[in-house]
């Protein structure tokens, strides 16, 4: 039986009765929860509460649960950082959803010459909401960090300075598996993945990024959409470094 997860920025410090906020109560109502059903609450910073539904469910605007215990799950040992140009429309939500499920720990929107900047000042809040829903679905205790936008070379330099291998999606690059197998990182398993806009990075951007220390890697012979390339890079990185990316004990 699936145990449903719900988000609360602040969890209770001790066992007791807890009322879900309006958004999460609506989610609970859509799931038709019943009294005595087991659920989980999480704060996105590693704390997970084991709880049981007291009241509420289908059609209810108020959902109360009994928190039985609270545990803290340590953060992932490794950093799986996606720095990407922004896909258009709903494809951005798809990318963030898939990336969160694949273990992305950090997201930086790239300011590319051929790309587009966020159109709304509240974009980061919207992106955070997408990652919250993804964490609920995949039962993940830690939300990805969302950073301010930056130029590709700036992100690459920061990654190299932090001792993280920086990989650039480029059809002319080396196979990604070969590069990862020979890479070393200050935090084992950490990877920074750079994904360009539709039409790719410009020659100047590629030159600046590789000069900063990034390694071009190929994802195959086909031209991929931004969100597909991002998911492919993260999936390969997660698969090849999976043992290192598990949370510490």
Q: What's the mean pLDDT when you consider all of the chain?
A: 91
**DSSP string covering 87-149:** PSTTHHHHHHHHHHHTT--EEEEB--TTS---SSTTHHHHHHHHHHHHHHHHT-SBPPEEPPP
What count of other Cβ atoms lies within 10 Å of the Cβ of residue 55?
A: 13
Domains of the chain (ranges plus CATH)? 4-72 (2.40.240.20), 80-245 (3.40.1280.10)
Is the distance from CB of 184 to CB of 208 less than 8 angstroms?
A: no
**Span 67-103, pLDDT tens digits:** 999 999 999 988 999 999 999 989 999 999 999 999 9
> How high is the pLDDT of residue 70?
97
Q: What is the pTM of this model?
A: 0.91
Chain centroid to CA 184 = 23
**Span 33-52, pLDDT tens digits:** 888 999 999 999 999 999 99
> How high is the pLDDT of residue 118?
64
């Amino acid at each position: 039986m699936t145990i449903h997860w719900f988000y609360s920025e602040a969890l209770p410090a001790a066992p007791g009765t807890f009322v879900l906020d309006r958004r999460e109560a609506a989610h609970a109502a859509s799931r038709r929860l019943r009294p005595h059903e087991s659920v989980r609450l999480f704060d996105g910073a590693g704390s997970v509460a084991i709880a049981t539904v007291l009241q509420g469910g289908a059609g209810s605007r108020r959902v109360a649960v009994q928190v039985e215990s609270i545990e803290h799950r340590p953060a992932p040992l490794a950093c799986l950082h996606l720095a990407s140009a922004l896909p258009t429309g709903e494809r951005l939500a798809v990318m963030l959803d898939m990336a969160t499920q694949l273990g992305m720990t950090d997201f930086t929107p790239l300011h590319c010459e051929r790309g587009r900047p966020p159109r709304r000042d509240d974009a980061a809040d919207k992106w955070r909401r997408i990652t919250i829903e993804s964490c609920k679905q995949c039962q993940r205790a830690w939300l990805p960090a969302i950073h301010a936008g930056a130029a590709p070379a700036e992100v690459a330099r920061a990654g190299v300075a932090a001792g993280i291998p920086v990989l650039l999606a480029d059809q002319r690059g080396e196979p990604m598996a070969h590069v990862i197998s020979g890479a070393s990182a200050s935090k084992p398993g950490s990877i920074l993945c750079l994904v360009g806009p539709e039409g790719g990075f410009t020659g100047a951007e590629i030159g600046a990024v590789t000069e900063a220390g990034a390694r071009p890697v190929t994802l195959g012979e086909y031209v991929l959409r931004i969100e597909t390339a991002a998911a492919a890079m993260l999936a390969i990185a997660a698969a090849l470094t999976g043992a290192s990316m598990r949370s510490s004990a």
